[in-house]
Structure 1
Amino acid sequence: MKQRTEKLYQRVASAITEGIVQGRYRVGTRLPGERELAEDFSVSRPTVREAMIALEIGGLVEARHGSGLYVIASPTDVANPAELDVGAFELIEARILFEGEAAAVAATVIDDETLAILDGTLEDMASALPDSPEAMDADRRFHLSIAEATGNTVISTVVEMLWNLREQSPLSVHMFAEARREGIHPRVDEHRLIVEALRARDSAQARKTMRDHLRRVVDDMLAATEVEVLERARSEIESQRGKVTQRLTA
């Protein structure tokens, strides 16, 4: 049986892990920055970001205020950080491809009943608390309804599989959870633009609005994972501030 191809972020995480083993990246030293690593491994910065998060989850590195990511453990001390499956950026890239085309196809065949279902789903999304399970469920139902509207079972199966990966892959789950924690939630207005394009039976516009929406999800994820590092820095600052205040008032 042919082995599954190693994902790009796993390749980067594995290479850095090997570098730690070989002494290239020693415990206590700072890792190169995202841009440098992206150039070294000939990958995008989002791929590097996924690899860094995988290494953090695996307990090999940690963020330090104003300085970057540092190696804190050797691979023999922790579980393999590369076995975290699909990351959010890789997943969204696939969604841009498949869901963009699904929206374009759906625009040519969608019926009024499905449009009414999408309108109702938008209402559910708008009325739910942004970080609630109801809001997440409405988001999923919205996208799956569009895939089903194509009338092509292969398309709808692929889109559903991508959503299942989002909810089952440990790395993806971690990244989306961080995004929600930082206040990033489904944008109802962007989803409404997609429905308007579908209602107009405008295939090109449906493709564009779906892709634009998912590209903004990428931007949100980049911001959220960067905020994750900054949040740790703020926590350290607050901790130090509290210690100083305690000494001054003692």
Structure 2
Amino acid sequence: MSARLKLYQRVAQEIEQRISGGEYPPGTRLPPERDLAEAFEVSRPTIREAMLALEIRALVEVRHGSGVYVVEQLPAASPPRELNVGAFELVEARLMFEGEGAALAARVMTDAQLHELDAILEQMEALDPASPEELALDRLFHMTIAEGTQSSLVAQAIEHLWDLREQSPLCRHMFQQARRSGINPRPGEHRRIYEALKAGDSDGARTAMRAHLTRVSEDLLAVTELELIEKARNEISEKRRRITQS
């Protein structure tokens, strides 16, 4: 498998090759998520991103109460692979960069930047949780911390990660699903980050930032489960509709 591919893409490519090679024939059920995670030595989130990629390519489908199956009729040609980053992979990178970025900012952030951060946070706390403005403020909050490191390279790296969140189809899909499921930025977690930064507590800022981003990852994991449940409900509703019309 090519090292140039993202982790979830490498898993998806391997499964696609097994499908085309006949190991997973059309109509057969793929191994359970836990088994695939163990076989590929990756996390459950990576398997879910791979399944979503295969679903986008019309190679697999989710069946209620049964699992993920290879489609009965494989497409004539495999669609181009999506060259983007999965949401879980993105959050892992943010954990590393923004966690250490917060630790650095706690030591060197200026009073003016702390004041700006507090003003952003107050705006976030005053908004309705579902407000589109909160998403922009969420990014601004994190970017203000990144700029507070006084390192243009750190700030550029973190800005690039935020850009990927909007540019990647997989990321957009999962974060939009989170919004539809009622999962929004939590100002309380941002407030704890701010308080550690204000106190100049490097370890506390790192811990608070990592705790916040870990919660984001956990929310996304819950969203993928909710999405499968919603698909199952839709399938049941459609079956009932067909029965009542017959």
Partners of 1:127 and 1:24 lie apart in 2 by 55
Query: What CA distance in whole angstroms lies between the structure 1 residues aligned with 2:199 and 2:6?
Result: 39
The equivalent of 1:79 in structure 2 is 79
| In 2: Cα distance, 1:206 partner to 1:55 partner | 38
Deviations along 1:45-69, whole A, 9 cap, x unmatched?
1111110111112221111111111
CA–CA distance in 1 between the matches of 2:75 and 2:152? Answer: 43
Task: List aligned pairs for 1:162-241, cutoff 5 A.
Answer: 162-241=161-240
Relative distance call for 1:132 and 1:71 in structure 2 (3 A) is farther
Q: Which amino acid aligns with 2:91?
A: I
Aligned length: 244
> Whole-Å Cα distance in 2 between the matches of residues 4 and 123 of structure 1?
44
Structure 1 residue 89: Cα displacement: 0.7
1:199-226 alpha-carbon deviations (Å, 9 max, x no partner): 1110000000000000011100100011
Determine the C-alpha separation between the residues in 2 that align with 1:63 and 1:127: 40
Counterpart Cα distance in 2 of 1:123 and 1:32: 48
Give the letter for the 2:148 counterpart.
A
In the alignment, which residue of structure 2 is the partner of 1:151? Answer: 150
One-letter amino acid of the structure 1 residue matched with residue 79 of structure 2: A
- Is residue 36 from structure 1 mapped to residue 60 from structure 2 by the alignment? no
What is the CA–CA distance in structure 2 between the aligned matches of 1:163 and 1:222, rounded to whole Å? 19
Moved over 6 A (4+): none
Task: Supply the AA of the counterpart residue of 1:150.
Answer: T
Deviation at 1:84, TM superposition (A): 3.9
Q: Structure 2-normalised TM-score?
A: 0.93
Counterpart residue type for residue 124 of structure 1: Q
Identify the range of structure 1 (132-141 vs 150-159) with the bigger mean alpha-carbon deviation: 132-141
2:55 equivalent in structure 1: 56
Instruction: Give the Cα separation in 1 of the matches to 2:237 and 2:12.
Output: 31
The change in CA–CA distance for 1:25 and 1:139 in structure 2 (over 3 A counts) is same
Counterpart residue identity of residue 202, structure 2: S
Contact 1:54 1:84 in 2 (8 A): no
The match for 2:107 is 108
Partner Cα distance (2:173, 2:32) in 1:
22
CA drift at 1:19: 1.1
Structure 1 vs Structure 2: percent identity of aligned residues? 55
Aligned to 2:127: 128
Q: If the length of structure 1 is used for normalisation, what is the TM-score?
A: 0.91
Point out the more displaced range, 107-116 or 199-208. 107-116
Q: Secondary structure at 2:76's aligned position in 1?
A: helix
Identify the range of structure 1 (66-75 vs 88-97) with the bigger mean alpha-carbon deviation.
66-75
Gaps of 5+ in 1: none
**Contact 1:121 1:138 survives alignment (8 Å):** yes
Unaligned runs of 5+ in 2: none
Structure 2: which amino acid aligns with 1:28? G
Evaluate the alpha carbon distance shift between residue 242 and residue 55 of structure 1 in structure 2; reply closer, same or farther with a 3 A threshold: same
> How far apart are residue 126 of structure 1 and its match?
2.6
- Corresponding residue of 2:69: 70
RMSD between aligned alpha carbons? 1.8
1:97 aligned residue: 96
Aligned to 2:137: 138
In 2, Cα distance between the equivalents of 1:142 and 1:201? 17
* Residue 77 (structure 1) shift: 4.3
CA contact (8 A) 1:118 1:142 kept: yes
Deviation larger for 124-133 or 194-203: 124-133
Q: Which amino acid aligns with 1:12?
A: V
